[in-house]
Amino acid sequence: MSNVTPDSTAAKRRTPRWIWVLLIGSLALNLLIVGAIGGSWARYHRGWGGPWGGGWHRYGFMRSLPDDRRDRVRVIMKQHRETLRPLRREAHGAWRGVIEVLKADEIDKAKLEQAIASAHEAETAARKRLVPMILEVAAVLTPEERRQFIKRFERRGKRRWWRRRHDD
């Protein structure tokens, strides 16, 4: 008689190939989703909060300045930040008020006009307080640096496809 046991002759059961394909496909899809979410977060949240929108002071224009002027521009921005921040928050809150009026089932025209006027006034006040900072920064920059600043400033509004002007 032979010494063969039933366990040693039985074929080992392998995981079917389609399960491995499904597992790798699932992993690829998960990595794609995580990459899209991470890329979106990095695109929209890195450096936002500067007085002209975001990102230019950390990743673009400011990076191109020499260290001494970069430090002077930072000091100017810090001096004006405390006066600009509450005005920007007020303008943002006023526009949220316009949105709340628009969300109503029945639109009260007088209330909407008042909310839009309030938002416009808040935004105008914030922009007026921005002017002294722009003047101080412009005085620190050389003519070539001002041209670069203007180029970045103009490009800022054309970044998003829904904000592009179609007349150029």
Confidence band, pLDDT 50/70/90 cuts, at residue 82? confident
Q: Pick from 4-8, 53-57, 99-103 the range whose average pLDDT is largest.
A: 99-103
The set of residues, in sequence order, having a beta carbon less than 8 Å from that of 84 and lying 6+ positions away, is: 51, 126, 129, 130, 133
How far is 46 from 19, CA to CA, in rounded Å? 40
Confidence check: pLDDT of 168 > 50? no
Q: Average per-residue pLDDT in the chain?
A: 79
Fold adopted by 56-159: Four Helix Bundle (Hemerythrin (Met), subunit A) (1.20.120)
**Phi, psi of 2, rounded to the nearest 5 degrees:** -95, 160
| pLDDT score at 110 | 92
Q: Can you state the percent helix, strand and coil of the chain, rounding each to 5?
A: 75, 0, 25
Cβ neighbours around 73 below 10 Å, total: 21
The set of residues, in sequence order, having a beta carbon less than 8 Å from that of 140 and lying 6+ positions away, is: 69, 72, 73, 76
Q: pLDDT tens, 39-76?
A: 887 766 654 444 444 444 444 677 778 888 888 988 88
CA torsion through residues 146, 151, 155, 157, sign: positive
Q: Is the model more confident about 63 or about 158?
A: 63
